[in-house]
Amino acid sequence: MAGVKITWLGHSAFLFEAEKKLLIDPFISGNPLAPCSPEELNPDIIAVTHGHRDHLGDTIEIGKRTGCRIITIHEVANYIKSKGVFAEGMGKGGTVNVEGIKLTMTDALHSSSIDASGFSFDGGSPAGFIIRINGHSIYHAGDTGIFGDMQLISELYEPELALLPIGDKFTMGIKEATKAVELIRPRIVIPMHYSTFDVIKQDPEEFKRAVEAKVDTKIIIMKPGESIKL
C-alpha cells in the first residue's frame, strides 16, 4: 500500500499528498493558526464540506490561480461558479473519482449558509467526506454533531483515520467526539476545529485521555504545519 502525507493547516484544513494533492476546507486567510499563505498552496483538488467562511475559505482564490478541480455539494458549487471558477457539485451518498482519489460525501449535522455571498445563495446542507487515496480510507467529518449513522459510515468505509471536530458550541465537544470515536472505531483520530478562536478553545489532551480510556484508537495531536504519513 502506497503512502499518503497528511498536513494540518489549522482549523479543519488538511492537505493530503500522494501522486496528487487534495486540499480540504482551505481556511487560510483570517486563520490565526495558519502555517502558510494561500499562495503557497498548489493543490490538484479542493474539497469543501460546507459554505461557512471558515471552511470555504480561500477556495475561490486558489481555484482561480491554479485551475484545480473543486468538489463540494451542489449548492456551494453553484456559488463558486458564480464567481467565475468551475466547481463540481455532488450529493450525499455519492462518490466521485477525481484524479484517482475517491471522494464519498457523507452526512453532517450543522448548517451551510454562504456568509461570503451575503446569504444571497442557498448553501445546501453540510457534509463530510470519506477520502480514499493510495489504498487508505480517511473520514473528514466536517463540522458536525454526533449522529448514530457514524456507525454506518464505519461499517461501509472502514476509515483507518478520522478527523473529528472537538471545539464545542458549533460542533461536537469532547464528550460527543469521544462517543463518535466509539462508533467509528478508526485506528487513528486527529482532533480538529478547536482553539482557532477563544469561543472554541479546548484541551486536546483531555480528549486524548477520554478516548484512550475507552477504546484502542490512537489520538494524534498535531500542531498547524505538522505532517504525518500513513
CB atoms within 10 A of CB 193: 29
* pLDDT attached to residue 72: 98
Q: What is the mean pLDDT of residues 180-190?
A: 98
From CA 220, how far away is CA 201, in angstroms rounded?
18
* pLDDT attached to residue 115: 87
* pLDDT attached to residue 148: 98
From CA 60, how far away is CA 228, in angstroms rounded?
27
Mean pLDDT of the chain: 97
Between these two residues, 166 and 116, which has the higher pLDDT value?
166
Q: What is the dihedral of CA 41, 104, 20, 100, to 10 degrees?
A: -160
Model confidence at 90, pLDDT cuts 50, 70, 90, reads very high
How deeply is 198 buried, as exposed, middle or buried, from its count of CB atoms within 10 A (0-12, 13-18, 19+)?
A: exposed
Contact 127, 106 (CB under 8 A): yes
- Reported as a single tens digit per residue, the pLDDT across 99-139 is 899 999 999 999 999 988 887 889 999 999 999 999 999 99
- Reported as a single tens digit per residue, the pLDDT across 17-39 is 999 999 999 999 999 999 999 99
* pLDDT attached to residue 1: 61
pTM value is 0.98
Q: Which strands sit side by side in the sheet containing 88-90, from one edge to the other?
A: 88-90, 69-73, 45-47, 21-24, 14-17, 5-8, 227-229
Contact 175, 146 (CB under 8 A): no
CB atoms within 10 A of CB 212: 14
- Could you please report the per-residue DSSP string of 186-225? -SEEEEES-SSSGGG---HHHHHHHHHTTSSPEE----TT
* pLDDT attached to residue 165: 99
From CA 28, how far away is CA 9, in angstroms rounded?
8
Q: Is the pLDDT of residue 222 over 90?
A: yes
Q: Is the pLDDT of residue 193 over 70?
A: yes
Q: Is the pLDDT of residue 189 over 90?
A: yes
Q: Is the pLDDT of residue 46 over 90?
A: yes
